[in-house]
Structure 1
Amino acid sequence: MSVQHVMELIDREAIAWIDFRFTDLLGRSHHITVPADEVDEETFAQGIAFDGSSLPGFCSIEESDMVMLPDPETAYIDPFTEHPTLIILCDILTPDGEVFDRDPRSIAKKAEQYLQATGIGTAAYFGPEMEFFVFDDVRYEYTQNSYMARVDSIEGHWNTGRQEEGGNLGFKVKHNGGYVPVQPVDSLHDLRSEISRLLIAAGLRVERHHHEVATAGQCEINFRYDTLVKSADNLMKYKYIVHNTARRRGKTATFMPKPIHGENGSGMHTHQSIFNGDQPLFYQKGGYGNMSELAMYYIGGILYHAPALTALTNPSTNSFKRLVPGYEAPVNLVFSKGNRSAAVRIPLAAVSPKGARIEFRTPDAAANPYLAFAAMLMAGLDGIKRKIDPRALGYGPVDKNIYELTPEEKAEICCIPASLEEALDQLEADHEFMLAGGVFSKSFLEHYIAIKREEARAVQTRIHPYEYALYYDC
């Protein structure tokens, strides 16, 4: 959509407000809203000023003037505002018009440009599979003398005996028994359909939706893959629409990776491929999983750099409550065809040459999509450039259920870091591949690591309620 088309859309839909948005280092959206009458073609050339010093990791107060530069191609009508509002995503520039090197969206753009500069291909495609929970109630508190968290869902298997329904209606989702049941066990079908309708109206191609494995409202809605930046843009739209549709219906949605102990967590399995024009580069008939050698090197780069990647693809302390060896999340640094217990899976079902791809199953939706997708692409490209063969390095293929291997067999398999702090250590030790082409900067990574270390320390130094169960009687 061009600037002219945006201006025509504003007139045609009687838009009253333009909501200019950008994404911070942590993956949260921020916005400044301007009357539509104050927006013209010059606005798209000059941008909108804002204070960058009020956001973690952006800039200090003496250099706080920043500019949001709107991208007209991202415009879509906000379905939640009382007054007609058009949302437009933005890049961040410095006051002198230079790209801000800590702007996540600009980093993602530079990753795309780097791919083209290498001559390997013209476009990288990403397709994230987003999982999330929908709760009816969430409460948490942390004070000096009180520490608690409580979530509830009418679907929760713990609610088979509750009386607050005016007579319990039954049909609860059993423990880890929520994979694609029909109504009335699946009580969220209509909510997902409504979310999907709004996603389509916002420009996403929704492919399907269903209930996921966990009890208490775990859902998945899949949208079609796109180029790196466009997929990250779509993911930001996705989160906004999921959060607000749930709230409109008196519920609350979260992409927190592991909100319930003992149930499957929520991941962001990320499908990836590279094309050169219309030519898919990952397909080779007769290869392992019909993968080309270039695809194998890409897999090698992902697995080789995975310990460092997790600092960006699984960037919360809660992420590592999901990434537990022997449980449902793939922590094993191996690849396999059709095997969901491997960190990298090669999909086999209903795959055409253009659909040939790899799936990195470790990430979760706590990630900033611009940073996570860019880092994964840089790791894969490093694998291609250096011809990192995953087979030669012991990364597989492993065509067995890894969870059922013997202890001796498991000892031969490397795992991702066990905590956010360990992942940050790995990123400090292994980040040169991200600096290629100026995609990520040293300054950015230093600020990112500092922010995330502070998060890790904040959790590590606070008292956990379960410590009372373990130690109060000592």
Structure 2
Amino acid sequence: MAKFVNNISEFYDFCIKNEVLFVDFRFTSLDGTWNHLTYTLKSVDEGVLKAGIPFDASSYKGWQPIDKSDMILIPDVTTAFLDPFATDNTVIVICDIFDIYKNDFYEKCPRTIAKKTMKMLDNNEIADTAYFGAENEFFIFDDVKIIDTMNCAMYQIDTEEGEWNDNKNYEDAYNTGHRPRRKGGYTPVPPIDSMQDLRAEMVQVLERVGIECFVHHHECAQGQGEIGVKFNTLVEAADNVQIYKYVVKMVAHLNGKTATFMPKPLHLDNGSGMHVHMSLFKNGKNLFYDKSGYAGLSKTAIHYIGGVLRHARSVTAFTNPTTNSYKRLIPGFEAPSILTYSCQNRSASCRVPYGINEKSARVEMRFPDSSSNVYLAFSSMLLAGLDGIKNELTAAGPMDENLFKLSLDEIREKGIEQLPHTLRGALESLIRDNAYLKPIFTDTCIQDYQHMKFKNQVWPVEQRPTAYEFKTTYSC
């Protein structure tokens, strides 16, 4: 994100210039939710910005117990930008969290973990900069209904683009019949693409808050879209994802629509991923480039891939942290689960983009999704990649064939591992394989994160019967 403010003095100048009335302090909890506390500008003096804002950390999943609930938000004024949706002029400031009991930044603050990861990168002398570029896909729906009770469970979602609406009678309009169809939505022009103007509005708002965009288009599924955002360093790229998700949801909301980054809301259609492009630089040199290497990649890049894929089964606890994540990771829907790499091949978990050069050489991990806590997702992948470089790890591959056509027996014969098939599997892998995350992720953070996911995701889903189970089991 482009910076509007560089220090506290400039922050107040920015507020005066823009007639700001409120300061909205934002922070990310362990589950990835963006939270906020809003103060009047007159109550936020320089002392407050330096000392921080007290808040109750026991109210957030996986954080503090009630008897040690007080924590401090430490504002990072360099992240300040005007809220494009607030009725009254409001400046948003992203915060880190300080632990008053240990007199240090909080070990379970996702943004702090990301900052510590970047500091470790610099200290180990492998590289001084890590660039991340996320492709966050999303759905836009017209209506969502949800029931979850003891004797009834259902959801129903609707979009005018859905082929199930072919014979629908609209009260205020006629049925045009122009729809992308299942898995047929990749880049058709309007009227099949009904969201052109909506995405354009999102792009304009993103640009206004300082996020550079370069493309937007309809994605493969019905009601699905994507906006291309410029890459950045790890912490800034993670900040940008949080802002991106906020803008997409709010623009949709204000247009009478509802946007979601849920990985797999539609059965039998493509899900939404968060493909992540990564590269390492040192003294301005791209460490991932070697003209004579496979697809232009250096040995450093190959070992980085080896590290991410070697630890991928536990990395997915952060990059794919919901039970719904694993409904996306199935063959045939452009969501790879086979742990190999390839050039230009979108069926591999890691893809090397076409036409890379000394400036653009990078690797693209295709399995993550946007339900993740992006600070933890980026940090875990970087730490896994650095472990690969340190220990000269290699992954299976390269494999340039269509991996979606391989049977399970063929995958086993080739000796290729797969991602976990469930969140439970990912969390159990995290328990077994977490040394590469330390000391950035503490034992307490890993354990509490895992417990939070079992309590709020795995166990509630495992104990609920589904409609499909009634279809297959009721008459047994």
Same fold (TM > 0.5): yes
Please list every run of at least 4 consecutive aligned residues from structure 1 whose deviation after the TM superposition is greater than 4 angstroms.
none
Note the 1:71-470 alignment, pairs <5 A: 71-95=76-100, 97-164=103-170, 166-215=173-222, 217-349=223-355, 351-390=356-395, 395-405=396-406, 408-411=409-412, 412=414, 413-435=416-438, 438-454=439-455, 455-470=457-472
Counterpart residue type for residue 152 of structure 1? D
Of 436, 451, 474, 1:472 maps to: 474
Per-residue CA deviation, residues 35-70 of structure 1 (Å, 9 max, x unaligned), is 011112222210111000111111111111100000
| Structure-1 separation of matches of 2:422 and 2:410 | 23
| Structure-1 separation of matches of 2:465 and 2:394 | 44
Preserved CA contact (<8 Å) 1:7 1:40: no
1:6 and 2:6 matched: no
Gaps of 5+ in 1: none
Preserved CA contact (<8 Å) 2:296 2:357: no
| Structure-1 separation of matches of 2:309 and 2:32 | 24
Preserved CA contact (<8 Å) 2:338 2:419: yes
| Structure-2 separation of matches of 1:364 and 1:418 | 15
Q: Secondary structure at the match of 1:66?
A: strand
Q: Secondary structure at the match of 2:308?
A: helix
Gaps of 5+ in 2: 1-5
How far apart are residue 470 of structure 1 and its match?
Answer: 1.6
Counterpart residue type for residue 210 of structure 2? G
Per-residue CA deviation, residues 60-104 of structure 1 (Å, 9 max, x unaligned), is 111111000000111111111111110000000012641100000
Per-residue CA deviation, residues 310-346 of structure 1 (Å, 9 max, x unaligned), is 1100000000000124542110000011110000111
How far apart are residue 406 of structure 1 and its match?
Answer: 5.6
Preserved CA contact (<8 Å) 2:334 2:346: no
How far apart are residue 167 of structure 1 and its match?
Answer: 2.1
**Identity of aligned pairs, percent?**
43
| Structure-1 separation of matches of 2:205 and 2:192 | 24
Preserved CA contact (<8 Å) 1:159 1:172: no
Q: Secondary structure at the match of 1:367?
A: coil
Preserved CA contact (<8 Å) 2:271 2:333: no
TM-score in terms of structure 1 length: 0.97
Q: Secondary structure at the match of 2:105?
A: coil
How far apart are residue 471 of structure 1 and its match?
Answer: 2.1
CA RMSD between the two structures: 1.1
Structure 1 422/101 Cα, relative in aligned 2: closer, same or farther at 3 Å?
Answer: same
How far apart are residue 409 of structure 1 and its match?
Answer: 3.1
How far apart are residue 467 of structure 1 and its match?
Answer: 1.6
| Structure-2 separation of matches of 1:160 and 1:104 | 45
| Structure-1 separation of matches of 2:397 and 2:448 | 35
Paired residues, number: 466
| Structure-2 separation of matches of 1:5 and 1:225 | 26
How far apart are residue 408 of structure 1 and its match?
Answer: 4.6
